[in-house]
Amino acid sequence: MDITALNRISQDLPSVATPIPVEKAAENREVVQAVKALNNTEMFGQENDLVFQKDLQTQRMVIKVINRKTKDVVSQIPPDYVLRLAEDLKPGKG
């Protein structure tokens, strides 16, 4: 398999960034600041961080408490099994 050919193809594709409305950007900044403030209080433990991220399969937001050193997920809302169930229940699946 010629990997250089794949690299050339991906380099030729234009990247399209979806513009974020000003109100949404301000809201996102507020959430980021709030999460940083919570992490600074060590509310979730001295070695843990609160993280918001989008699940790649379901495109739903997930809240995780992650250990800084080991990168292990200490807690997650919604749990993985709920995300997988939601993905399996989508129309057209099964």
Question: Any bridge partners for residue 19, and if so which?
Answer: none
Range(s) of the domain holding residue 52 = 21-88
* pLDDT score recorded for residue 77: 95
Count structural domains, the chain: 1
Is 8 domain-assigned?
no
Identify which has the larger pLDDT, 79 or 43: 79
Q: Is 74 exposed, middle or buried (0-12, 13-18, 19+ CB in 10 A)?
A: middle
32 HSE (CA, 13 A, CB side): 6
Judge whether 32 lies within some domain. yes
Does residue 81 belong to any structural domain of this protein? yes
Q: What is the pLDDT of residues 69-78, one digit of tens each?
A: 999 999 999 9
Per-residue pLDDT tens for 12-54? Answer: 555 566 777 888 778 788 888 888 888 888 888 889 999 998 8
